[in-house]
Structure 1
Amino acid sequence: MTDGRDEGQMVSDALLDNEIVNVIVHTVNKGDGGFVVDDRREVLEVGETVQRLIDQLAKIYAAKTGKSHGRFEEDAENYPVSKFLEDYFQKGSSDFVSTTLNMAKSLRKSVQGTASTGGHVFFAHFRRVTDKTDFFIVAILNDELGAALNKSKEVVDALHLDIKGFRLAGRVNLSSWAEGADKYLSFIKGRGQDKVSDFFKIFLGCNNSVAAVLETQKLGKALEEFVQSKDMSEDQREEFLRSAYSICKRYTDKDLPFEVKAFANELWPESPEDLSNVFEGSGLDISDGFIPDKRSLRSFVKFTGGSKNWRITFDRAALSNGEIEFDTKSEALVIKKLPNELLARLRMEVSQNGEED
């Protein structure tokens, strides 16, 4: 029973996660002669069902691991999606239907000759309500055969969109892009999905070459966040970070790319999703595919610092076993158990200075 309001009115009255600006779907079908675009010529009406679909897509995409982050390629001739979106979002010279139809045609070119089966391509421009950030998401969804009960309580076939199982999707932070941010584009790059996702990366025109040093530093920050979230003791913290260091050093030594899912499974096997969720929720946009930087990895197990006249490097273990103490109030380090040779030199230096006075 309804209260007489239409679906759109009920959506507007609800507390929304995302304000949908525009949404449309085109279908890329695979036929005997290759892929063809079955297009739609008007945007979808934003009712309760469409709102729920886009909210789910946005939420599931944000939670998925195995994403690569980057920016648009500068070559807009060969990678035209950036030009299409620029005309739509920044210049306002193209409407949403034309923009997405051009993108669907570009996708058709990229997917030709691949093993992809195509699917329904959803394009959505939405604004996150909490901070008014604009996003554009494109995701390929497929039909899934399920079962339903009809009015006679008979079980019948029922096709529905496989929202949770999508493997090909990308997202542009339109607001960050317009503000000139360094990274604003991402796409799903699942483990072992390189050959499948390559055409989608090409379609988006995503340049995901990343600086290994920066990505390794961000990884260290995410690990610190995880340690704090688990309220680990000093010994647990040290063991955890040393294990992270060992895993990443193996990646470096063997020239293996970092992957969030594989890393989390090895480092925190009892509940890898907990670690993955911290990575995804940190806002650091840690990319898959980089080779950890060996020098930057040292920060996982060592503290290093200095000034014009001195430099110090010590393991985390020195803090946990009491060899070095840090006084937060005075912001001073107290070093204990100095080696005999250093003690002798320091005593001699102090003695000589006293005689000179």
Structure 2
Amino acid sequence: MSVDVFQLTIHYLELDEQQAPQIRERQALIPTSAEVCHLLEQLHLSYNAKPAKGYARFSTEKPQVFHDSMTLWLEQPDDFLLLAKSATAELVQQLSQHQLAESGYLLLSHYRYLATDYLLLCLLGSKEHFSVTAELDLAAAKHLDIARMQLAARIDLTEYQLNPQHPHAISFIRGRAGRKVADFFLDFLGCEEGSDAKENSKQVLSSVEEYLSAANFDAEEKHQARQQVYEYCEAQSKQGQDVVLKELSESMDPSDQHGFLHYCAEQQLAVAEQFPVDVKSLKNLVKFSGAGAGVSVSFEQKHLGERVVYDPQQDTLTIRGVPPNLKDQLQRFLSS
């Protein structure tokens, strides 16, 4: 098991008749067990996989209710329940102020994953499932809906304690309501936005393409370099780790591991030494896709100019070797 759980508690938020959140608090920490560690590992991986996360740092221009409670807890680690109680009360207040009608199980945990300590706060819904007993009777029960985690924030305590003003030691899921959820989390945590993963990704895309154009690579070498960059960034994202420019350079060109690193420095490209990325925004490194007016097209970048030919003058896309399943559908439709 790669997760060590130090402290965990769960409170329940329910909505009253006026749709205002009410708290039902747990009075003791949940004992650590193999099941608890497995739960936190699932939550950690699910959180990492969420796209379009926001990144932030604490701001002195906002109320520091959560920050002050966390600071007190870091000084007195046995007072985790006090931190949980304070965070829950602040969460309820901010939910009301931002008019977000949310209910569910509020989980707070201090855990370690691969030598990094985290503080996780997430609001989880529940989902009913059914099973069959040994007597072949139906039984119903509820389980935490981890896959649909929408309200969650995580603090990299290891990074934060080294540098409290690190621009992406704090992250949060932007959620289905976009800007509204981002504003809610920034106010709840007392933060201001720091590093922008999407902007970082755009800068990586443009810098990689600029480097590949300047380097003496053939078409296959360019494809391999783009693939290596994408796979490295994807692996870092899945682990919840930042992209490191030096490692990115090494993965791009094994024959000249510092080539991209030196190019960024020489050309003064705005690529940070370490930054989070949005993997979805990097898809263009390896794939072209688009949809509109009832047509959806997607293909790997390596096929452009070979199996797929684009004529900008005629605004046409020619595909050689239609995928078998699409070809079968077309033939059956035409024959009918």
Q: Smaller-chain TM-score range?
A: 0.5 to 0.7
Q: Which runs of 5+ in 2 are unaligned?
A: 245-259, 269-336
Q: Which runs of 5+ in 1 are unaligned?
A: 1-15, 228-232, 245-267, 287-298, 308-357
Normalising by structure 2, report the TM-score. 0.60
Q: 1:67 aligns with which of 20, 29, 53?
A: 53
Match of 1:151 in 2: 134
Q: 1:284 aligns with which of 224, 237, 242?
A: 242
Q: Which protein is bigger by CA-based radius of gyration?
A: 1
Counterpart amino acid of residue 109 in structure 2: A
Tell whether the 8 Å contact from 2:175 to 2:181 is kept in structure 1 after alignment: no
Over 3 Å counting, the alpha-carbon distance change for 1:155 and 1:65 in structure 2 is same
Counterpart amino acid of residue 177 in structure 1: Y
Match of 1:104 in 2: 88
Match of 1:6 in 2: none
Match of 1:123 in 2: 108
Corresponding residue SS for 1:139: strand
2:140 aligned with 1:179 = no
Over 3 Å counting, the alpha-carbon distance change for 1:160 and 1:134 in structure 2 is same
What's the offset of the Cα at 1:110?
A: 0.7
Tell whether the 8 Å contact from 1:110 to 1:202 is kept in structure 2 after alignment: yes
Matches within 5 A, 1:29-48: 29-33=14-18, 34-48=20-34
- What whole-Å deviation, never above 9, does each CA across 1:73-128 have from its counterpart, x for those lacking one? 2246x242111111101x22770001111000000001115243221010000122
Tell whether the 8 Å contact from 1:222 to 1:279 is kept in structure 2 after alignment: no
Counterpart amino acid of residue 72 in structure 1: F
Matches within 5 A, 1:110-259: 110-112=94-96, 114-128=99-113, 130-131=114-115, 133-180=116-163, 182=166, 183-190=168-175, 193-210=178-195, 215=200, 219-220=204-205, 234-235=218-219
Counterpart amino acid of residue 107 in structure 1: L
Question: How many angstroms apart in 2 are the aligned matches of 1:306 and 1:67?
Answer: 29
What's the offset of the Cα at 1:211?
A: 7.2
Tell whether the 8 Å contact from 2:21 to 2:101 is kept in structure 1 after alignment: no
Over 3 Å counting, the alpha-carbon distance change for 1:60 and 1:303 in structure 2 is closer
Question: How many angstroms apart in 2 are the aligned matches of 1:142 and 1:191?
Answer: 14
Matches within 5 A, 1:317-356: none
Counterpart amino acid of residue 72 in structure 2: D
- What whole-Å deviation, never above 9, does each CA across 1:41-61 have from its counterpart, x for those lacking one? 110011222121111111211
* RMSD, aligned α-carbons: 3.7
Tell whether the 8 Å contact from 2:151 to 2:173 is kept in structure 1 after alignment: yes
Q: Percent identical across equivalent pairs?
A: 19
Corresponding residue SS for 1:164: helix
Corresponding residue SS for 1:43: coil
Tell whether the 8 Å contact from 1:43 to 1:97 is kept in structure 2 after alignment: yes
What's the offset of the Cα at 1:238?
A: 5.3
Question: How many angstroms apart in 1 are the aligned matches of 2:224 and 2:178?
Answer: 29
Tell whether the 8 Å contact from 1:116 to 1:196 is kept in structure 2 after alignment: no
Normalising by structure 1, report the TM-score. 0.57
